[in-house]
Structure 1
Amino acid sequence: MATPPRSTLFDFHGVSMTKYFTDNWDNVQNFKARPDDILIATYPKAGTTWVSYILDLLYFGKTSPERQASIPIYDRVPFLEICVPYPGKDVADKLPTTPRLIKTHLPVQFVPKSFWEQNCRIVYVARNAKDNAVSYFHFGRMNHRQPDPGDWSTYLKNFMKGKVVFGSWYDHVTGWWEKKQTYSNLHYMFFENMIEDSGREVDRLCFFLGFSASAEEKERVTTESKFDNMKQNKMTNYSTVEFMNHKVSPFMRKGKVGDWKNHFTVAQNEDFDEDYRLKMKNTTLQFRTVV
C-alpha cells in the first residue's frame, strides 16, 4: 500500500491545523456529548494513550477483558476530530460503553460546546515543553499523515512558533489551565507526576472520577499501563496503524522525562528558555523538566 501524501499546515481560526482534523469540522462541533462522557484532552504526545488506557482499564478492564485483547485503544477511545481512515466522531457516536471515553487534542476554545453544556468530566494531561517537542518531532518522522518535520533544528523553531499541528504548546497548556480555574469538572494532570508515581496519580484520578477501586484493582491498572507493557501490547502500541512507520521511530518511543537533554544543544536550550520565560510569564502553571 502506497504511503499517503504528507499533510500541509494552514492557519485555522488562529491555530495551525491540517485537513485530517478540519475536514469534518461542523460534524465535530455539533457532537452530542452525554453527561457521563469522559473527555481525555492533551496536546499531542503528552501522555494521551497512557491516560486513555488507564481509564479504559479502570472502567472496563474487569467487566470486559475481551476488549483489551481484541480492540485497539484508538477504537476503544476514539479520537474525536480525526477524519481518516474514518471520522472519529462517528466512532464516538457508536461507542457501546458507559461511560464513553473520548480523546481530543483540540485547544480548549475548539472543544464542542455540548461537553460544557453537559458538564462532562474532562481529564487534561500536560507534559513539559522540551520533552513534548522531542516526542512530537519523532512522531512527525514516523507518521506519514503529519507534515514533514524536517531536521530537529528546523522543527524546534517551528514548535516554538506554534507552526505544528494543533498549534502552540504554550497556548494549549495555558488555555486549558485557565479553564480549570472556572470549570470544576476538569482534572489537570502532569506527565512528570505520572512518571514519578503512577500509583498516586491513579488514586487522584479515581478520586476525581468518584470511582471506587480496590487496592488490588489499582495495582493491576498501574502494572498493565506501565510503559514497557504498553509498548509490547499490540492493542496499545499503534503497531496496527498502516501510515505509521515504527522502523523510523516507534509510536511508543521512550516515555521518559529528560530525554530533551539528548536533543537540545546548549544554544538551543538557552534560546528556548528565554522564549519560554516570555511566553509563560503570565501564568501560574509550572512544569518540571527533570524528575
Structure 2
Amino acid sequence: MIRDTLAARAPAAVFAAIGPGRQADAERLFARRDMRRASTPRDASVLLVAGDIPAEASEALARVHDQIPPPRATVQWQGEDPDRIAARVAEALKDLRGTGTGEADRLPDEPPNEWKGIGPHGQGGKGMMGGTPYGRPMAMTGPDIRDGLQLDRYTARIGPFAPMLPPGLTLEVTLQGDVICDVSIDSPPFAQPADADAPDLCLARVLRLLGLDRAADRVLGGKRPGALWVRGAIPRGLGRIDGTDIRGRVAAWRKGEAAPLGPFDLPQLLTGAEWSEAMLILASLPPSALIRAARATEAA
C-alpha cells in the first residue's frame, strides 16, 4: 500500500523528442523536481514532443513512440509555460494509471527491410557474412585504425532523438569495440535559438553526461554545481578546438562566461575517440557551433 502510494506520487518518466527552437526550454523544464527525463524510451511512460517535428523526422518519432512500453501517452508541447506542461504530463500519467490503456503503435510490427531467406544462409547477405537481419547490419572485419589488426566493425545510424545527441542530429557511426573508426552526418541538428548557448545550459549538458544530474539541476537553478572535481573527470586535451579543450570550456561556463568556437571538422573531431569520449565532445559544443559544423560538413 505504502509502496503504491509513493509510486503514484513519483514524477512521470518522460522521454523528450525535441524539435527546432525548443532545446533550451526542454532542458530547463527537466531541471524541475516534478519532471524526470527518461534516458531511453523503454524507461518512459509519456512521450513529450516539444515543438513541431519536421516531416523528415516523423518516422523516427513514430519509432520512438512505439518503443515506449504500453500503456503510454503523448503530450504535445507548443509553448505553454512550464507549470502548465508539467501539469499536463502529470494528468496524462494519472490517466494511464487509472485506465491502464494508452496509445496504439504507429508503425507496423515488421522488420524495416526484407532479409529472411535471402543469401546462402538466409541472413540477408550474399556470402558467409554480411546481411542486415532485422535491419541491423552484421559486423564485418576491417583493420583497426590504431594498429591495423583485423577487428569486427559495426555500423549503425543514431538519432535524431537519441538523448546523448543534440536534437535532430543523426550520425552514421562505424565502431570497432567502443572506438569510432568512421562517422558521417546523415542530418544536422535542428536550429535552436541563441539562448541554447547559455553558459549554464552548456555546463549542465556536460554534467548530465557525466552522471551528475543533481549538479546540473543546481546550475540551472542559478547555484554553483557543487562538484569542484568535475574537470578531473574529463581527460586533458579531449575535444580540442581553437586551443581550448572540454576542460577549458567547462571552466569558462562555471564562471558564467561563453566559450565561442571557430570552424572545426566534426567527423574528424569524433573519429578515433571512444564512444563515451565522443558523446562528451558533442555535449561540450555549444549548439550554434555544432550546427554550423554539421551543416558545413553536409555541404562539403
Higher helix proportion (structure 1 or 2): 1
Question: What band does the TM-score fall into relative to the shorter chain?
Answer: under 0.3
Structure in which a larger fraction of residues adopt strand: 2
Between 1 and 2, higher relative CO (CA 8 Å, sep ≥ 6) is seen in 1
Give the TM-score of the pair, scaled to structure 2. Answer: 0.24
- What TM-score does the superposition give when structure 1 sets the normalisation length? 0.24
State which structure, 1 or 2, has the greater radius of gyration over its C-alpha atoms. 2
